[in-house]
Structure 1
Amino acid sequence: MHNRLRVNIGLICWFLFSIILVNIIEKTQLISLIDNWGFACTQPVTQLKTIILTEITFLGDPVTVGIVTIGLMLFLWRRKQPTDSVWYGMLQFLGYCLVILVKYSVVRLRPTHRLISVSGYSFPSGHTFSTVIFVFTILALTIPRLSKHWQKILYIFLGMLWILLIMYSRVYLRAHFTTDVMGGFLLALGWWLLMNTQRKRFFNWLIKPVRKNRSVR
């Protein structure tokens, strides 16, 4: 994907995110309709379904994803891929700072009648954001190594399915409104696309002092 296309799609994602954000702040009828539709789509509530989705949602927890990301960073560093290690770690952890900033700016309360114990504010979904960044990281690292087209399609399908499962689990468990997970997805996708247009520039800036020291010597 060319940088211009990344920028355009990334900006569209953040524009849509901004629309959701404004409507949430204004508490419009549109937000209520979307949220109620999302809750209806997760019905019925059963004990087995709650147990399974509680386990699934744990795997999308920003803490869990953060620990796995650190492990991935160490793995990449040992594989002599330090730029990948730094870059993908930065996308995950700096990106989540953006989530926290939005959460504490909007201060949207979570849904009532939650099926799990959860604290903090609701918009956007941190689970969704962290999962999107992690899945995209895995796809970016593995797809170029796959030779067969069907394998690439399968990996992308499984990655998208996992993201949807995390989003579904958050709404089903009443940990988030539908617009929270939509916002988390759009924020993450925009962050991923826009930041990756700056990857070369970032590393050129990072190693510039090293080059200068070598030239002085």
Structure 2
Amino acid sequence: MQKNRNWLFVGIIATILFLSLTIAVYTNSSGLAFIDRSIQETVRNSVNPSQTHVFTIIAFFGSPTVTIIATLLIAGAFWHFKNRVIASWIMLVQLGGDAVAFLIKEIIRRPRPNMQLVKDTGFSYPSGHTFSTALLGLTILFIIVPYIKNRETELTVSLLTITWFCFVAFSRFYLRDHFPSDVFASFLLALSWWEWMRVIYFQYKF
């Protein structure tokens, strides 16, 4: 019970921070623009063809389309083993979350950064890649990992999941397809969405 309360608190804080950041983006906050620009300039100094190639591949496999396919496979496995409530919930979280992120993009309509290394279309805020990957990562960490009995395997899967998310998130502003604030906002939105969906899940289940 205490653990659920702690995660609910995390979800509330993430929601507040996301809304605050969204307001800053919508109002073109000069402070936020300065932070974004400072991070972009720092990352720009490390750009080279080899890294760009690697992060382009990472961005491809971290795309919402690939993430949805991975989620479908996970949900399908739970459905196959007769755990259909969790299977349905996993798909609702991913597909519903992606729909929410797309709606926010259309409302905020933030243009993407200039001089993209890999051309992307649509609006910038929030990052769909980061958001989708974060939801997939949370599914792995909190739905799949608890089923793993071997402690070392559990730790390995958890570390690989977190590392993959960090690479996907970094690739978005390395490739200049997003501002750093887009990426951070996506992480906050994913935490918020995940926690509120957990509340719905437990209410439905119990």
After TM superposition, the structure 1 = structure 2 runs for residues 181-200 of structure 1, keeping only pairs within 5 Å, are: 181-200=183-202
Q: Residue type matched to 1:80 in 2?
A: K
After TM superposition, the structure 1 = structure 2 runs for residues 194-213 of structure 1, keeping only pairs within 5 Å, are: 194-203=196-205
User: What SS does the corresponding residue of 1:2 show, helix, strand or coil?
Assistant: helix
Tell me if the contact between 1:6 and 1:197 (Cα under 8 Å) persists in the aligned partners: no
Residue 22 (1) aligns with residue 20 (2): no
Tell me if the contact between 1:73 and 1:89 (Cα under 8 Å) persists in the aligned partners: yes
Q: How many residues align?
A: 204
Q: Segments of 4+ in structure 1 off by > 4 A? A: 148-151
After TM superposition, the structure 1 = structure 2 runs for residues 38-187 of structure 1, keeping only pairs within 5 Å, are: 38-42=39-43, 43-187=45-189
- What's the offset of the Cα at 1:182? 0.4
Which stretch shifts more, 53-62 or 31-40? 31-40
Q: Distance in 1 between matches of 2:133 and 2:188?
A: 12
Q: Deviations 1:78-132 (Å, cap 9, x if unpaired)?
A: 1222112101111000011110111111000000000112110000011111001
- What's the offset of the Cα at 1:151? 4.2
Q: Distance in 1 between matches of 2:119 and 2:191?
A: 28
Q: Distance in 1 between matches of 2:82 and 2:133?
A: 25
User: Taking structure 1 as the reference length, what is the TM-score of the superposition?
Assistant: 0.87
RMSD in angstroms over aligned alpha carbons? 1.7
- What's the offset of the Cα at 1:150? 4.8
Q: Distance in 2 between matches of 1:40 and 1:149?
A: 41
- What's the offset of the Cα at 1:180? 0.2
Q: Distance in 1 between matches of 2:78 and 2:5?
A: 28
Which runs of no fewer than 5 residues in structure 2 stay unpaired?
none
Tell me if the contact between 1:129 and 1:184 (Cα under 8 Å) persists in the aligned partners: yes
User: What SS does the corresponding residue of 1:197 show, helix, strand or coil?
Assistant: helix
Which runs of no fewer than 5 residues in structure 1 stay unpaired?
205-217
Q: Distance in 2 between matches of 1:169 and 1:38?
A: 13
Which stretch shifts more, 95-104 or 151-160? 151-160
User: Taking structure 2 as the reference length, what is the TM-score of the superposition?
Assistant: 0.92
Q: Deviations 1:120-162 (Å, cap 9, x if unpaired)?
A: 0000011111001001111223321234555444333222211
